[in-house]
Amino acid sequence: MKKSLLLWAGLLGLSPTLHAQTGSRQAAGQAVSADTPYATDFAEAYRRYPAIPRGVLEAVAYTQTHIRHLGPTEQASCTGMPLAAGVMGLIADGKGYFRENLGLVARLADVNADLIQTSPRAHILAYAAAYARLATEQKLTAADPARHLPVLLALSELPLAKDAVSTFTLDSHLYSVLTFLNKAENQQRYGFPDYHLDLQRIFGANYQVLSSGTAQVSERQVRGEGQTFDPNSSTYARVASSDYGPAITDLTTCNYSSRGGVAVTHYAIHTVQGTYASCISWFKNCSAQVSAHYVVRSSDGQVTQMVSEANKAWHIGSENPYTIGTEHEGYVDDASWYTTAMYNSSAALARDICASGYGISGLRTFYGAATTGTFSTGACVKIKGHQHFPNQTHTDPGVNWNWEKFYTLINNAPTVTTLTAATGTVYDAGGASANYPDDVRQCQLIAPTGATSVSLTFSSFDVESGYDHLLVYDGANNQAPLIGKYSGTASPGTLTASSGKMFLELRSDCATTRPGFAATWSSAGGGSASCPTDSYEANETLATGKAIGVNVNNTAYVCPAADVDWYRFSSSTTNNNIKVTLTTLPADYDLELYDAGGTLLYSSTSASTTAETIVYNGAPAATYYVKVYGYNGATSSSAYTLRVSTQSVAWSSSAAIASRLNASTPEQPVVTITNPVQAGTKAWLTVTGYDGPADIVLRDSRGLPVGASTHAEIVSEQPLGYLLPANLSPSVYIVTLQLRTHVEYVKLLVQ
């Protein structure tokens, strides 16, 4: 696809607040990345207090607040748990349970506590001063963060005790901090070194429980991955000297009661307004008078069970008797806490509850727009937010929770009827003459053989207004760009899918049916050549990815349209610098690199048939997955070439540029951006081979700018974070960068 056409394919608006790179320097000459609002303050703290290992302050801040200043207007937690304050997430009033570490920091740093709560800079510097004082007293140096665990525990708000629950929460806090330090993308983004922390050695056998989502914990013991959690060998102990199978069972001894014979009929989604470890600890506090059945961790989706489903947890006031409730780590005003891992894990928990005999159907999951307020959906919707139940004042999970995504993950295996004729007629689940029934999820894929476009014209349309909906997508499934969501009696008219495939999804609630719809489709572009034999098929998913060797060429096909190819390979500790190239492209194909857990690491999405390249220097020895797919359903019966190359020395930027541009113009900058992303989260933009100013303009599908132009200072190969608006519709957009001499374009897929 030509860049001039790509420009009008649909563009994404960015937040008007853009944090550019700074000129501050670290001791080793590394640039301090300013893609967080407080990079300058963190840099100043490290200069003042050299005993603090670089990266530790950001690691604590990310664990506690995702590096966001929590002010006095922050929404209170529906659990009654004390709210943290500032960038480092300190507690001023522990309500007789949490340690009041804000006061401790103020005393150690000799700074007024009120100033710490109101000024982000004073907050960061005070925490750093307190940290440095404790580190100096213990004769610790910045070279080995693993020896700093006593300082991290001393400055935590979590209660100090040697029982199983307290030691587990303390270890969970430390695990989050050290995991942050171990991630290569954080080392690059925040400019700190790789300390090569051996988490298995640090946490011992307890590491299996801390890192696993399939552990079991009772009042007397904790088991995970075949290991027993030992409170006596927990980090704090050394320093101081179930209903849902995958969950850690950490049942509270209080803060619950009998359901009194009331049946479970609903499931409530909450946001903690705090951290995972703090929430677990708070629910163990018998004075809190609050609890939930489950808590989910943001970073990896680990689930801890606090109350048996047979008992009534105290999480939603008058609606407690008939509900199961789950708290999600994070804050309602910060979408970054709602990670893919959290959504996937929480949806798996919801599917288990649906299958547990309560009569809760996944089809009764709320999928409307996320909002900031409270409103009751009525009893028909069974899986919904705290804010959707009657008699509530709390508004979690709030405007940043993606209900449509959650609905799709819970109902992750729909039956799909595929229609391959060039023309035909489709009806709702009631057929040509009857009303559609209640509790329907009808999925139909119109995919005429070889079609380049599909048009659908409605002859009748009547679905229950505001409660039942028809969703239409331009592509092979409900992850494709949404054409529209229709309800009521107004006809959608004629809809066109430019991908050559159109996906229809009808959803109905528990009451009131209507005549539904009838529509006739036609297609264009049929009669394309059949697909050649591909020796790697079937490899449409990560789980079915085919093994390939390194430093060899592999040829295959993206065919038919919307075909996706997955491959897997392994790197070694010696040859730990990876370059993945996609060449001889017959169409606009894109490239992505994932870790074994399914997390997207890098993507390459150049326009048209430009070669795609991903470079990952210093990659840990592990199994990785490569995904090759056609942009917007692009396909061809001609082969592409995929090559994974590894070597012991880092791949140079010039080599990457030359490869990305097919060695034609190695001086031209290369622009990449993380794909796919979610509305309301950050997209990370990287420009290789260019340093200097850039004006960023975003355009909608008509080519019109969305928002004002944004100015940034680009540093080559330094990721620049953009916070995306929360109200974007799923689609493909283009980010345009006006550099000194020309404009660069990069595609962005919002899901």
Q: What's the distance, Cα to Cα, between the start and end of the chain in Å?
A: 21
Question: Based on the number of CB atoms within 10 Å of its own CB, is 625 exposed (0-12), middle (13-18) or buried (19 or more)?
Answer: buried
Tokens read off for 296: 């989910």
The one-character DSSP state at 335 is G
Burial class (CB in 10 A: 0-12, 13-18, 19+), 182: middle
Strand 453-462, strand 494-497: pairing: antiparallel
pLDDT computed for residue 498 by the predictor: 93
Q: What pLDDT was estimated at residue 16?
A: 29
- Of the candidate ranges 423-427, 505-509, 716-720, the one whose mean pLDDT is the lowest: 716-720
The structural domains of the chain, with segments of one domain joined by +, span 3-14+674-750, 39-210, 242-410, 423-524, 542-668
In terms of pLDDT, which residue wins out, 470 or 450? 470
**Residue 725 in tokens:** 């608006």
DSSP state of 321: G
DSSP E strands in 297-387: the ranges are 303-305, 311-313, 323-328, 383-385
Residue 519 CA to residue 618 CA, distance in Å, equals 54
- From the list 251, 253, 376, 364, the residue with the least C-alpha distance to 317 is 376
Which phi and psi angles does 80 have, rounded to 5°? 80, 0
pLDDT score recorded for residue 208: 80
Dihedral Cα 34, 36, 40, 41, nearest 10 deg: -160
CA distance 105 to 114: 12
Residues 317, 390: Cα–Cα separation, whole Å: 10
For residues 55 and 39, is the Cβ–Cβ distance under 8 A? no
* Confidence band of 20 (pLDDT split at 50, 70, 90): very low
Among 377, 452, 375, 370, which residue's Cα sits nearest to residue 633?
A: 452
**Are the beta carbons of 271 and 331 closer than 8 angstroms?**
yes
Condensed to tens digits (0 to 9), the pLDDT of residues 569-582 reads: 998 888 888 999 99
Shared fold status for 423-524 and 542-668: yes
> Could you tell me the two tokens for 159?
């209660």
- Distance from C-alpha of 729 to C-alpha of 428, rounded to nearest angstrom: 25
Half-sphere exposure of 586 (CA within 13 A, CB side): 13
pLDDT at 703 over 60: no
Task: Tell me the average pLDDT across 697-714.
Answer: 65
The Cα 391–Cα 414 span in angstroms is: 34
Q: What is the pLDDT of residue 603?
A: 83
| Structure confidence at residue 744 (pLDDT) | 76
Q: Report the alpha-carbon distance of residue 147 to residue 499 in Å, rounded.
A: 56
Q: How far is CA 557 from CA 420, 573, 715, in A?
A: 21, 32, 37
Which tokens hold the place of 260? 């009194």
The set of residues, in sequence order, having a beta carbon less than 8 Å from that of 643 and lying 6+ positions away, is 551, 552, 553, 554, 580, 581, 583
Look over the chain and give the mean of its residue pLDDT values, rounded to a whole number: 84
Structure tokens at 730: 């799923």
CA-to-CA separations, 717 to 31, 188, 652, 677, in angstroms, rounded: 11, 9, 11, 20
Q: Is residue 31 scored above 70 in pLDDT?
A: no
Tell me the mean pLDDT in the region 548-577: 88
Per-residue confidence at 400, pLDDT binned at 50, 70, 90?
A: very high
Indicate the DSSP class of residue 118: H
How confident is the model over 68-93, as a mean pLDDT? 93
Show Cβ contacts of residue 372 under 8 Å, excluding neighbours closer than 6 positions: 395, 398, 399
Give the C-alpha separation, 707 to 697, whole Å. Answer: 8
Residue 12 has pLDDT above 60, yes or no: no
Q: Are 342 and 312 in contact (CB under 8 A)?
A: no
Find the radius of gyration of the CA atoms of the chain.
27
Is the omega angle on the peptide bond into residue 50 within 30 degrees of 0, that is, cis?
A: no
How many Cα atoms within 13 Å fall on the side-chain side of residue 536?
27
Cβ partners under 8 Å of residue 486, min gap 6: 461, 463, 469, 470, 471, 472, 492
Compute the average pLDDT of residues 78-89.
93
What SS3 class is residue 103?
helix
Tokens of 677: 């992303």
Q: What is the model's pLDDT at position 651?
A: 75
pLDDT of residue 128: 96
Count how many residues are written for the chain.
Answer: 751
| Mean pLDDT to the nearest integer, 247-261 | 79
Q: What single DSSP character describes residue 70?
A: B
- Say what percent of the chain tops pLDDT 70: 86
| More confidently predicted of 83 and 701 | 83
- pLDDT value for 241: 46
Using alpha carbons only, give the angle 306, 312, 317 rounded to the nearest 5 degrees. Answer: 105
Give the position of tokens 């070694």: 572
CATH number of 542-668: 2.60.120.380
The model's pLDDT over 200-220, given as tens digits with 9 standing for 90+, comes to: 889 987 888 888 774 454 555
Least confidently predicted of 245-249, 285-289, 310-314: 245-249
CA separation for the pair 440, 365 (Å, rounded): 12
What is the model's pLDDT at position 610?
82
- The answer to whether the beta carbons of residues 404 and 422 sit under 8 Å apart is no
How far is it, in rounded angstroms, from Cα 409 to Cα 387? 21
Alpha-carbon distance of 569 to 580, in angstroms, equals 11
The least confident of 270-274, 616-620, 659-663 is: 659-663
Partnered with residue 249 across adjacent β-strands are 305
Q: State the Cα–Cα distance between residues 290 and 134, nearest whole angstrom.
A: 34
Looking at the domain that runs over 3-14+674-750, which CATH code has it been given?
A: 2.60.40
CATH number at 242-410? 3.40.80.10
| 190 backbone dihedrals φ, ψ, rounded to 5° | -105, 0
Which strands form 564-570's sheet, in the order they lie side by side? 546-547, 564-570, 623-630, 589-595, 600-604
Phi-psi region of 95 (alpha: psi -120 to 50; beta: other; left: phi over 0): left
The residues, ordered by sequence, that sit 6+ positions from 665 with a Cβ below 8 Å of its Cβ are none
CB 215 within 8 A of CB 208: yes
Q: DSSP code of 4?
A: H
pLDDT of 661 higher than 50: no
Lowest mean pLDDT among 107-121, 195-209, 227-241: 227-241
Question: Tell me, what's the pLDDT at 633?
Answer: 74
Distance, in Å, from the CA atom of 362 to the CA atom of 477, rounded to the nearest integer, reads: 19
Which CATH number is 423-524 given? 2.60.120.290
